[in-house]
Structure 1
Amino acid sequence: MKLLTGNDLPSGDVVWWTGAGWSRHVEDAVDVGHDGEGIARAEEGCRRVNVPYVIDATQTPEGPRPAHIKDRIRALGPTVRTDLTLKPADPAAGNWVI
């Protein structure tokens, strides 16, 4: 299975080709087969997406999943526990000693 991904031009968000447009959800992505490079060129030329490229993926019960870890992170989010990150609204955020 081949998926087409890139970044939304105005927002920079990761997006996935749905067969009719772009979605921020990898679950909406469709197999582009051998047509991926042509779709990528056309979409980049229309300035709807930045740096589109074709990746390998597998179909799972939850939807398509990128084969490479880099693209899985782009699709499914960070690999760290977000509950352990420093929040900007945290009152203690300004108490760092450097």
Structure 2
Amino acid sequence: MPRAFTPKVVTANALLEGDVIYQTATGWSRDLAEAEVLTDEADADLRLIDAAQQVDAVVGAYLADVDASGPTPKPTHFREDFRATGPSNYAHGKQEAQANV
């Protein structure tokens, strides 16, 4: 029996900057809280196809599981939690924000 579909977001890396980005209803954001949460498998597949075709803006688009029970989506996997907080080698980018320190 196939697994039940769980909420997901489309994530990728910005082609020029390399930052982790998330697909919103109108474009891309570097903030997971602004990501469009997808609860329908067919819709998620279509959004992923759309993201993969944006080769001039993004690289490595894929669907990431999220917990959508709160006011903002939260990663359910360690890798996605790590990507959402930014680089780990020294404080820059997302890690400069006080909320992530």
TM normalised by structure 1 equals 0.70
> Take 1:81 and 1:3, find their aligned partners in 2: how far apart are those partners?
27
Q: Provide, for residues 13-68 of structure 1, a one-character-per-residue CA deviation record: whole Å limited to 9, x for no partner.
A: 1000111111000010111232223222222222121111111111224x111100
Corresponding residue for residue 45 of structure 1? 53
TM normalised by structure 2 equals 0.68
> Take 2:59 and 2:87, find their aligned partners in 1: how far apart are those partners?
21
Unaligned runs of 5+ in 1: 83-98
Q: How many residues align?
A: 81
Which structure has greater strand proportion?
A: 1
Q: Which has the larger radius of gyration?
A: 1
Unaligned runs of 5+ in 2: 1-6, 92-101
Query: What SS does structure 2 have at the residue aligned with 1:41?
Result: helix
Instruction: Quote the RMSD (CA, aligned, Å).
Output: 2.0
Q: Which one of 5, 9, 19 corresponds to residue 3 of structure 1?
A: 9
